[in-house]
Amino acid sequence: MASDELVGRIHSLTLEQSGGQNQAHTASPPTNSRTAFPKENVNNLVLYVSATVSHAQAIGTATRHMEDFEIGSMSDVCLLYEQAKRLIEVQSRLENAIKAILESPESSVVNHLKSLGQNETKISHATPIAHLLSHFDGKIRNIVRKVLDRAKPEEVLWRIAEECFKESCFQGILNSDDYFVPLGETQMGWHYDSDCEDELYFENEGRLDLDEGYAESWRERTEKRIEGDRERREGWRDFWIQVLDHTLGGPTLFYPRANNNVKLPEMPAVPPYLFRTFDKCSHRQIAESAIASSASHEPRKNHKDLLAMDKFNAAKLLYNHFNWRHHDKRGKEINLASWTSSLPYAIQYALYRRQDHKDQRRLLRDDEIKICVIDTRRFPKGQFVRDIELLNAYHATAEMSRDREVLSHFNFRLKTEAYHNGEYLSQGAVKLAGRFCMVSLEQLENAGLFRLYPEFSVQTSGKWAKVLCYLREQWRDEQETANEDIACVLNIALTCFQPFNLRDMVCILLAFRNRRLSSNVTPSDYSKPPSWAEKPADVKRYWQLHQTLKTLERRNIDHSVLRGIFA
């Protein structure tokens, strides 16, 4: 088949494909009346494009070094000139076809995302979703292109939805303020505002001071406007939450709905790294692509946000999750999975799994017990919430439930220091997607973990939380750091946590124990640690050490740098 005939067929197919393209760029919600592009046409288009690319490569090969030779026959000169003009015509048609082929997948994805969010009736009617989608259309398409460039087909939708939600939050490129603030600048503000100097202000200045009823009316209208602005902004984030909830494979986030009477404080920052210990016998589903809750295999439960549940059911679910005795009986109903910000806690639990011989069928080798490490900065806000935040939020509900067992367990976890191990919860399936690394207990041992902290090698009985309390007591007093310790830490960080920042991993590993700094090093200001760094002690030391290293402005971390920091 000739190249120009191939291009003609591609052009015809792309015209058919983009028949509704202008509609895709409008702000109106997509309808089901649009005809789907036939699968047969997609297959034909792929074949034609492949053939055209092959022909283009052949033309490139045939014309290589052509300028180095003279064409002897004038008829050949005319023939080649005619072919060049045909290629110019083909080039224009190809450019149009390329544009259509690029834009059509973008439009299909954008329209699909719109339909997932706009089928939900819980979004505030005051939020102009269609106008916001139109306003941010170009930026949404940029996100679509970036994800299509790097994601696997099965990841495309949920990664686009996740990225759009992340960007709709504070300081993101889809932040609703970009739309609402310019609109608000045209509206008249509160008359008591010192910056408000319009004529109406001066006309009513005396009345505002003397007429309490008039002032109260202004105040009520202002409060109502502020509340309306807040609802409209929340509605935009609610839209993307609904998209995530209805996207196959998308994350289930902790997201306080407007109609929920259990309130969390503003989502605090989470630690940069979280850890989860697991093995082949774990209750949770583990795979190279995701770590999932026990209930995640049921679509009806997988996307059920705890914060959107009846508050009494949510409190009971938390109790069942934290109470290990209920896992065998109720495990399949629990859509939660636990993580920790404390690597010593994750390691001690791994050692406990190895020593738990109650069931002889569950004897495990060190290479079968693994720790998953994730970089939380690459996940959307609300993917992880600390256990203490949820326990505090539902404590009043536990009191009202009159279930003494639930309330007693809540009080026990809130007041018992042994359970303050930087535990965080996730819901449903947490898609790892290049944001993690896996390390086995065997790898940690081979890299020198027991030489760095020989206390781990001592066989102990009892629950891992109690053992770790004892170890933390041993590591509380300030101690010196040997050269062997520094070499060991660097080896573990490079061998076991290679995908992540070396400085971060070195700080985490050194922070198990309280280490004396060199007299040449001035500690950073530790007065205001983030909430995640307050407990446990090793996590707080990690943050302090990380802050100190930042003040030294050393780009590279090696043995000599660390030797100069620690006594």
The 3-class secondary structure across 253-294, one letter per residue, is CCCCCCCCCCCCCCCCCCCCEEEEEECCCCCCEECCCEEECH
Q: Are residue 81 and residue 131 in the same domain, yes or no?
A: no
Identify the domain containing residue 476 by its residue range: 467-565
Residues 124 and 96 in one domain: no
Q: Give the pLDDT score at 494.
A: 96
Note the pLDDT of residue 29.
39
369 shares its domain with 305: yes
Same domain, 385 and 332: yes
> Residues 131, 93: one domain?
no
In a domain, 69, yes or no: no
Number of domains in the chain: 4
* 19 found inside a domain: yes
Q: Has residue 255 been placed in a domain?
A: no
Q: Within 10 Å of residue 414's Cβ, how many Cβ atoms?
A: 14
Residue 260 is assigned to a structural domain of this protein: no
pLDDT digits (tens, 9 = 90+) for 5-58: 555 555 565 555 555 444 433 333 344 445 666 777 778 778 878 888 888 888
Q: What is the pLDDT of residue 260?
A: 65
Low-confidence ranges of the chain (pLDDT < 50): 20-33, 121, 186, 188-199, 201-202, 357
489 and 417 co-located in one domain? no
Q: What is the pLDDT of residues 527-566, one digit of tens each?
A: 678 999 998 999 999 999 988 888 776 667 889 889 988 8
Question: Cβ neighbours of residue 1 under 8 Å, at least 6 residues apart?
Answer: 51
Confidence (pLDDT) at 313: 92
What's the pLDDT score for residue 191? 43
Would you say residue 265 lies in a domain?
no
Domain-located, residue 105? no
Q: What is the pLDDT of residue 163?
A: 92
pLDDT at 249: 76
- Same domain for 127 and 189, yes or no, is yes
Say yes or no: 312 and 375 in one domain: yes
- Each as own residue / partner, the long-range contacts of residues 225-229 (CB below 8 Å, 24 or more positions apart, any chain) are 225/187, 228/126, 229/180, 229/184
Same domain, 498 and 399: no
pLDDT at residue 447, as a whole number: 96
Q: Is 338 helix (H, G, I), strand (E, B) or coil?
A: strand
| Cβ neighbours, 10 Å, residue 559 | 12
Question: What pLDDT is recorded for position 164?
Answer: 92
Give yes or no: residues 434 and 514 share one domain.
no
Residue in this structure with the two tokens 């190249």, named with its chain if needed: 3
Reduced to 3 states (helix: H, G, I; strand: E, B; else coil), residue 390 is: helix
Cis previous bond, 536, omega within 30: yes
Give the pLDDT score at 275. 98
Whether 457 is in a domain gets the answer no
Residue 450 lies in a domain: no
Token pair listed for 142: 């940029």
Q: Examine the domain organization and report whether 172 and 318 are in the same domain.
A: no
In the prediction, which pLDDT does 536 show? 94
163 and 89 within one domain: no
